[in-house]
Amino acid sequence: MYGLDTAEPANLEVLTGPAPIPTRPPFLVQVADTGAARATYHGLRRETFVAEQRLFAGHDRDDVDDDPRTVVLVATGDDGTVLGGVRLAPVGYGHDIGWWTGSRLVVDRRARAGFGIGKALVRAACAYAETHGVLRFDATVQARHEPMFIRLGWERIAEVTAAGQPHVSMRWPIDRIERLAQATKSVLAEALSPLDGTPFALGGAGFRGDDGAPVPGTDMIAACDAIVPSMVERDPEWAGWCAALVNLNDLSAMGAEPVGLLDAVGAPNRSILTRVIRGLSRASAQWGVPVLGGHTQLGVPAALSVTALGRTADPVPAGGGRAGDELRLTADISGAWRPGYASRQWDSSSHRTPGELVELGSYVRRARPAAAKDVSMAGLAGTTGMLAEAGGVGAVLDVAAIPKPSGVTMGDWMTCFPGFAMITADRPGRSHTTPTGPATSAVCGELTTNPGVGLRWPDGVITRAVHSTVTGLGTA
């Protein structure tokens, strides 16, 4: 255009000067998925840590190298030459609880000067850990390399000695749980403040921000949840099922017996409407809870919300816990990820019989804990933070004691919607005899005087998962 012959490439060197000559060798960081790549990585380690630095005699291999779960990342040049590497592995030989370490970072001495390979390997290791459900990622680094790790965002923990040389224990900050809690719940206090001026608003005294709200002057509990519109369009039948599931879970957390549902459905076409109603109808039949009525509209953007009504003369509050109470997770860990929602939605309910669903839903009503909350979109730690906030306390979760499905990472499990999962608080030992039906139940922490939620690891270290309150609504 503008008189230029666009059929030929323009010579922009007139304007920009000659193209710069790359000064860094191109390299790619990837998983070492061949024996040859791993062997070269081990050779670089031997050259560096045994021959050059003399940190080890003979070899630097250890138990981590023999762990089949260990992952090796390597930086390779254009010709496939391994220029450096680093390894990552879960701590210990028990089941993976989301605590990993990085170690044996090495770069070929011929590729060290100014190429940034070491930094790239560290960044890649952090990214790999986070995307594979790790919640604590540690490393012990040579003291002279501490400044590089600090610049990359790592936190200094302590000075240590390793292989007879000064090292520094460091930790990569992983805020996955905090980000989820902030994204899903942090706006509630400010957004709902206009509703606060009327009696019984937001649940009323003792039930502020709870899973369900006592209806004044009755023994009724009302709960209401909406389904994300994109899910209604993408998977209408599952959306209908989940609309019942999440509301019945809310009633369950209050210790209420469900008596009926009300639905409000909007759909752009008849097909989506039919499938939403089909899913809701199937859930209604499986739980034995009727849809009493509602509202239906066609030719509008997809929307679905359900209100559940239940009865109890003595609701179980979220805010009934106190410092020193033990925390118990009761969860149905059978099932699998819902197709299309891997790492986000655990489906433990669609294969259950009506009797099993009713038994699960009655757990809180039978156990009568001091406090209970349904684990929902804020995830396990975020929901625990909401329960603690409602009671004016904080919480610590023992990561190794948390029941979770086999093969699911701790990071995914603690940030997903788990189907049926109740976090309860009670005086130590009080509720351990209550039958849980098909669910798995375990004490996995306690309420504390320190706000927020901490994760306690087998070495006694507590990392902060939620630094303060979750909703800002305060005590119930």
24-174 placed in CATH 3.40.630.30: yes
pLDDT in tens, 53-97: 999 999 999 999 999 999 999 999 999 999 999 999 999 878 899
The share of the chain scoring above pLDDT 70, in percent, equals 95
Angle of CA points 189, 385, 150, to nearest 5°: 100
Domain boundaries 177-210+317-476, corresponding CATH code? 3.90.650.10
| Per-residue confidence (pLDDT) for residue 93, from 0 to 100 | 75
| Per-residue confidence (pLDDT) for residue 9, from 0 to 100 | 44
Q: What are phi and psi of 451, to 5 degrees?
A: -60, 160
Angle of CA points 355, 361, 362, to nearest 5°: 90
**Of 338, 362, 330, residue with least CA distance to 416:** 338
The residue behind tokens 């060197």 is: 13
The stretch 21-38 carries a mean pLDDT of: 83
Domain limits of the chain?
A: 24-174, 177-210+317-476, 213-315
Q: What are phi and psi of 29, to 5 degrees?
A: -95, 125
Under DSSP, the state recorded for 434 is: S
| Per-residue confidence (pLDDT) for residue 443, from 0 to 100 | 97
Residue 236 has pLDDT above 50, yes or no: yes
More confident residue, 225 or 25: 225
Residue 270 has pLDDT above 90, yes or no: yes
Task: Give me the chain's average pLDDT, please.
Answer: 93
Q: Sorting pLDDT into bands at 50, 70 and 90, what band is 16?
A: low
pLDDT in tens, 158-173: 999 999 999 999 999 9
Q: Sorting pLDDT into bands at 50, 70 and 90, what band is 23?
A: low
Q: Sorting pLDDT into bands at 50, 70 and 90, what band is 392?
A: very high
| Per-residue confidence (pLDDT) for residue 12, from 0 to 100 | 47
The stretch 139-145 carries a mean pLDDT of: 96
Q: Which residues contact 272 (CB under 8 A, 6 or more apart)?
A: 232, 233, 236, 302
213-315 placed in CATH 1.10.760.10: no
| Per-residue confidence (pLDDT) for residue 113, from 0 to 100 | 82
